[in-house]
Each structure stands twice: as C-alpha cells, then as structure tokens.
Structure 1
Amino acid sequence: MEESRAVWARDGRQWPVVTVMVGMLLVWCGLLAYHVRADNGFVLGDWVLDYRQGFTRRGAMGAMLWPLARWSHVPVTVWAAAVATLAYAVMLTALAAVLARRCKPVWYLLWLASPAALAFPYFSLAEVARKEVLHFALLAAVVWCLHRRIWHPFLAVLAIASAGLLVLSHEMLVFYAPYFCLATFVSWQTPRVWRLTAAAMLLTSLGAAAALWLWARPLDGTGFCASLLAAGHSASLCQGIVLWPIQDIEGALHNTWLTVIHYDYVRVYPASLVCAALPVILWWRRYPGEHVGRVAWGSLACVLWSLPLFALAQDWGRFIQVHVVSLALVLALALRRLPLADEPPSMATLSQPRFPWQRSGWGALLLVLCLAWPLFWHLPTCCEADVGAGWAGKAGGWISRRLAG
C-alpha cells in the first residue's frame, strides 16, 4: 500500500487521468439514464433480446436480465443499463490500476482520450452502452491480471466461459477475441499458463460463433416487439435490432456495399484513421524496434481477423473504435514501469523524457491538446461523410440552423 501511494505521489499525471475517467463515467451514466427513460431501442434493444423464441443470436444477456427484471419488478432496461455501467466502470478501474504503476506518455494519454477511443461515444447519443463494453471490461480485467501476474484455475475458467458468453451476447465480438492472445504476447515474460488460457478463450469464442452459425434461428422481431409492449415498454424499444429487416448474410452484404458507396467510406475512414494515428507516431521513437514490431504485427493480425465484419455491417466507426480501445488496453502493458518506493531510479525501467512535452511543466499543454483535439474531427459513427464534424463542427452547425430560423 505504501509503495502504491509513493508511486502515485511521484506521478503527477495519475490524478488528472483518474479525474477524466470519473468524468467520463458520470457522463456515461447521464446519457444512459436518458436512453432508459426514452426506451431507446437502438441502444438497449441488443440487451433485451432473449431465448423465448428459441436459440437466436444476441440472446444470452437478455436471458439473464429478464429473470432479474421479473424477480425484482425493475424494468429490464434498468438492469441492462446497470450491467453496461458496471462493465464500463470495470474497464476504467482496471485501466487506472495498471496505469498507476506505469509511465504515461503524452502520446498514449492523447490517443486514449481521442474521438477514436474513449471519447468516441460522446459524439453520438446512440453509441453509448453498446455491447462491446463487455469486451472492453473482460480485456481490461485480463490486462490487469497480467500486470499483477495473477493466475488461478478459477479465474481461468471464468475468463474462458466469459469469452464464450460474450459471443453469444453479440456475435460481433468474435472478431475481437484475438486481442486476448495479443495481451499475453506484449511481453515475453508472460507465464505460459496465461497464454494457454488466452488461446482457450479464443477457441471458446470460435465455438460459440460456430454454434450461432449452425443452430441460431432468425429473430421474429414482430413477435418479440409484441412481448415488449406486453411487458409495459414503449414501441421505441422495438427500434434498431428488434425490427431490423435484414436477417441474412446476403442482405447484410448488399446493404453494406450500398452504404459504403453512397457515403464515400473509402475516403472518409482513411482520413479519420490518419487523424487517430497521429499520437501513435511518438511510439516509434520511444520504444525498442523489436518491441514495437511485436505489437505492430500482432495488431495487424487482429485487424485482418476482423475484416469480414466490415463487409457484413455498416457501422465502421464502431468497429474501428473497438480496435483502438482494445489496442490501447493492451498497450498499457507495454508502457514502462514506474520505480517502486525503495527502488533506485537507475533500477527502474522508466526512461528520461525524450521530448520537451513529456516534462511535467508541459502538463497544461497536454490538457489543452486533449481538450482541443476532439473539437476539429471525430471518427464517423455510421453513414456520415463529414470527417471534420467534431464538437466545433457540431456547434457551428447548430448555430447555423438557429440563425437560419
């Protein structure tokens, strides 16, 4: 405990990081409360699907939430919001715990707070509390265990079962399962038992996806919507996935192709990725080449694994954001360790600042950059052709509409 306090006392960036994370959690709770009151199906519809109509995709989470709702007489949407908030809090807490004992370069903090990472949901009301937050929570927990070198058979079984449950909750998450393996290969010192556990998590995810492919039946949206109305929910909860007309792969491919052409995805998303990658350039100057190469090749493998997803759905902004946040969580393990309380500075792996903006006196500049960067761009969520519509662009558009009457 004393060592942790000493590290926090010597690291002036920890408290601002925690403050920003607490602020993000509060904003998350406020936006989610708004969606619960509105019964927004685009946000909460995924969470309330269950197996009352048989084995359907995305029904695992709802199969657990509906019994809780009936037992507690609390709307299922409230339980869904509680689970999403808990998962978000677990991700932020685990990440803060890892960063407490690591140096936090400017490029990493700027990247973490960018519109392509943790700030992404705050550019569109419908992007808060999507089911990928479950993936973030599990990956952050794995990263924390690797950071603390904690392994137990019970934790391994829990992690493997959770990986399969995630895919049964949302089939999209199978395309991000390789990040569990990447986390164990960031450092050569990772125990072999953790690498075997991560491999088992990947295989379990593939098994769950295969089960959905072979036996899942199409969702009867009309019938499920009727059950939601009978339970006292408004018709707005039926929006989104519940009444989504496309239920087969052929229709998904056709719809995605038309969207990509109509909204010029080929131009929009490369420009957004260039903006998102600007802070990562510092990574190539600060870390050894072989370390960067291992992370780079592993990240490339994870991206290639997910390519079919980009052909099956049009939410490219969400898909890219999951990659960015997952990679940010994994890279937390690659950041240099801070010295312990009784460790001489020469024995620590923390290097001296190489750039002037990494010195403590430039903390104000870091804060300004973190606040100003999202003003001028954002990662498009879906069906948006304007890359420059950051917060400044949104404010300008609102003012223009008001002046136009």
Structure 2
Amino acid sequence: MRFEKILSRFNIKICIYLLIAVTALYTLVFTLIYNLKDDGYILADWLINYQDGGFKRRGLSGSFFFILQDMTGLRLNYLVYFFQLAIISSFFWYYTKLIRYKRTDLLYLSLLLSSIGFVGLLNTVTYVGKKEFIVFLMFTVFVYLLDHQRLSEKKEYLFCFFLLISTLLHEVTVFFVPYFAIALYLNTGKLEYRRYIKYFLAVGIPAIAIFMFGKNVNEGQSLKILSERGVHPVYGIFYWNINERDYIIQHSKEYILYGVSLIISAFHLAYYLKFLTGRKLLSILLIGAFLFSLPLFYLAIDWGRWMYIHMMLMIILFGLSLRNGQSVWDYQPVTINSTFYITSGIIVLSLLYRVEMSGKGFTWEGLLYRIFVAPVELLNKM
C-alpha cells in the first residue's frame, strides 16, 4: 500500500521536464565540442557549399555561412554553432510549450525514454548537431500551432516554403514529410488529400532538382575552400567514398540487429496506440510514413538515425493526443495494474539497450550501462 502511495505521487511531468533539460544541455555541449574540433560530420555537413562545383544537395547552408563569414569576419565554427544553438534550443523550448499544459502519463514518458527517443541522444553522441533538428523544430512549431488552433492558411504556405528550404539544406526532409499530413489528420479528424499535396510538392520539387542537376558533395575543391576559411576536417562527409549498399551487405550481421530494435520499438508504439481513439487508421498512416522512408534505408547506412527521427517525430505528434491539464505540473497518477507492469518493463528494456547510428543495430550498452558500467571500466583502465 505504501509503495502504491509513493508511486501515485511520482510527478511524471517533472521527470519529463528534467529529461528535456538534461537532453538539451547534453546536445548543445557536445555540438559545441564537435564544432570546435572541426568535426567532419557534425560541423562539415553544414559547410557543404555551392562554391565548389555549383548546385548540389545540402549546399545552401555552406554558401550561406560563407556569406556571413565575409560580412562578419567570424570563424565558421562559431557561426554554425550560433545557428545550431538557436535551432536546437528552439526545438526543446517549443516541445516544452507543446506539452506543458498536457496531462502526461507513464506510457507517454516511456516514449521519451525509448532507446531511439530522447534517450537516443544520450546513448549516441553522434546524433547531436545534425540537420534533422531543423525538421524537429518545424514539426514541433507546426503541431503546437495546430494544437492551439492557430495554423492559418498563410502559415501553412509559410511552412511549405520552410520545407522547401529545409530540403535544400538536407534531403532527409523529403522522407519525413508525411508526418505533417498525419498531424493535420489528427487535428481535424478527416482526410484532406488536396490540402496535403502542397506539402509533398514543397519537398518534391527541390528533391527532383537535386536529383537531376545536383553535383557531388565534394567536387574537388571543398577541402581547399574550407582550409582557406579556417576549417580543417580530417574525416567525414567530404572524404566519403563508400558504396553504401555494398557496406550494408558486408556488415549484414550488424545490420540484421536493427531488426531487433525495430521489433522492440514497433511493440512499444503498438502498445501506446492501443490506448488512443481512432488508432486503426492512425496505425495505418504511421506504417505508411515508415514505408515512405524506406528508400533512405536502401540509399544510406545510418539506419539507427532514420529510426531515431521517426520516433522523435511520433513523440511530437502524440503530443496532440494528450489530454489538456490544469497546470504545467499536471500528470496522470501512476496506478499499479497490468499497464504499469508492461510499461515499466518497456522502460527498463529501453534503458538497457542501445541503437547506433550506423553499424550495430542492437547492443546492451544502453543508458544504464553508460551510467553504471562504463565509468567503472574506464577507472579500471586508468
């Protein structure tokens, strides 16, 4: 009886706020660290440019930062980090605004604690500072406006413009645009196909242009241009010369393990959807969104990253379905029943395993390992 009383007073909302704060701080700190050491993936991906060979995928951001550097004289590392700081901080801020007056429960918290949810950032430091945070921010603001009945027609077209720009910053935007349509459906309760077309056109047009006219990420002068501007990556996107499909085949044993993580996550989501109204059609739409992204799994090796983006977008999306509460501290008290035991089991499992961005699709080096085991191993080595 005493244990039940303690559980009922466990404030889930405070736990969520704490997780958001820790994740945001962790992400921003490690993004800065990677930027200052001229990281070839996290920094260099923002510096792909049109100056080396002309129009190409992801090149808009680099050319933009070059112009800023010419205007201000500041180091590219700091200029890029300023925008990363603004985008990442804004995402966490708007996500907090989205759920602050929502009545959260243990099952929703379990999504954040998924190994490919918020905890994924704590498990895999290479998720930090990536361009998908642009998509996270756009989608969170989009859902927030929907939830507050403030998405006007003009704002919809503005989001379409941002989606177009985002596609020029990173083509991954194309494969996750279905979530905007699903959010509209969740908000209105009806399918509005004509309304959705503009979102797909917004990402489809620049994607076709990139496919037809885009140059290579490195046309031979990128490293020289960056060196002249004070950035010296020694690995990463500008050195990338791997046939990704062959790589996946050669490392098939590791990639098969992504199936284990996918099954766990699918069960987790299916269990969450069990308690939502209209779950049948929503389940079909979410499966459709995953199938829409399958070309990514064929074209690129970052399978864990694609799974992580899916989970993050679903966490934001499900914020629409949470019941409104009375205050920013409102939560659903925990009761001991079958749902509690199943959810608790999912949480413990999520904290035990880890999904790497590419390579190992499942290991037992999750958050609990990184907190309790890895430090001891490090001390022993010292």
**Distance in 2 between residues matched to 1:286 and 1:152, nearest whole Å:** 30
CA contact (8 A) 2:351 2:368 kept: yes
Of the structure 1 ranges 276-285 and 294-303, higher mean CA displacement relative to structure 2 is found in: 276-285
Are residue 160 (structure 1) and residue 156 (structure 2) matched? Answer: no
Partners in 2 of 1:64 and 1:326 — Cα distance?
A: 27
8 Å Cα contact 1:107/1:279 also seen in 2: no
Instruction: Tell me which moved more, 154-163 or 141-150.
Output: 154-163
- Indicate the residue corresponding to 2:288 in structure 1: 301
Q: Could you tell me how far 1:115 is from its partner in structure 2? A: 2.0
CA deviations over 1:230-287 (Å, ceiling 9, x no partner): 1122243xx21112114xxxx333333333x1x4322x11222344355445424423
* 1:245 correspondence with 2:241: yes
| Structure 1 residues 69 and 373: CA distance shift in structure 2, 3 A | farther
- 2:317 is matched with 330
In structure 2, C-alpha distance between the alignment counterparts of 1:163 and 1:31, rounded to whole Å: 27
Partner of 2:34: 35
Matched, 1:379 2:355: yes
SS in 2 for 1:187: helix
Alignment of 1:5-404 (within 5 A): 12-53=11-52, 54-189=54-189, 198-220=196-218, 222-236=220-234, 239-246=235-242, 251-259=243-251, 261=252, 263-266=253-256, 268-277=257-266, 279-280=268-269, 282-288=271-277, 291-338=278-325, 355-356=335-336, 375-384=351-360, 386-394=362-370, 396=373, 399-400=376-377, 403=380
Q: 1:75-113: per-residue Cα shift (whole Å, max 9, x none)? A: 222222222222222222222222123221211112113
Identity %: 18
Query: Are the equivalent residues in 2 in contact too, given 1:103–1:338 (CA < 8 A)?
Result: yes
What is the CA distance between 1:170 and its match in structure 2? 1.1
5+ residue gaps in structure 1?
1-10, 342-349
Q: How far 1:122 moved relative to its partner? A: 2.3
- Contact 2:273 2:283 (8 Å CA) reproduced: no
Give the 3 Å change call, closer, same or farther, for CA 354–386 of structure 1 in structure 2.
Answer: closer
Q: Is the 8 A contact 2:103 2:323 kept in 1?
A: yes
Using a 3 Å threshold, how does the CA distance of structure 1 residues 244 and 235 change in structure 2: closer, same or farther? same
Contact in 2 for aligned 1:178/1:302 (Cα 8 Å): yes
Could you give the per-residue CA deviations for residues 313-344 of structure 1, whole angstroms, max 9, x where no partner exists?
11100000011111111111122233699xxx
Deviation at 1:204, TM superposition (A): 1.0
Whole-angstrom distance in 2 between the partners of 1:353 and 1:389 = 31
Which amino acid is 1:243 matched to?
A: Y
One-letter amino acid of the structure 2 residue matched with residue 179 of structure 1: Y
- SS of alignment partner, residue 104 of structure 1: coil
Deviations 1:274-312 (A, max 9, x none): 443554454244233xx1112211101101101111011
Q: Is the 8 A contact 1:103 1:335 kept in 2?
A: yes
Q: Which amino acid aligns with 1:241?
A: I
Q: Relative CO higher for 1 or 2, CA cutoff 8 Å, sep ≥ 6?
A: 2
* TM-score where L is the length of structure 1: 0.81
Q: d(CA) in 2 for partners of 1:14 and 1:401?
A: 34
Is contact 2:290-2:310 (8 Å) kept?
yes
1:356 aligned partner, one-letter code: I
Cα offset for 1:151? 2.6
In the alignment of these two chains, the number of paired residues is: 369
Aligned to 1:6: none
| Alpha-carbon distance between aligned partners in 2 of 1:340 and 1:234, rounded to the nearest angstrom | 49
Instruction: Report if the CA contact (8 A) 1:116-1:324 is conserved.
Output: yes
Partner letter of residue 254 of structure 2? D
Structure 2 CA distance for partners of 1:255 and 1:310, relative to 1, 3 Å: same
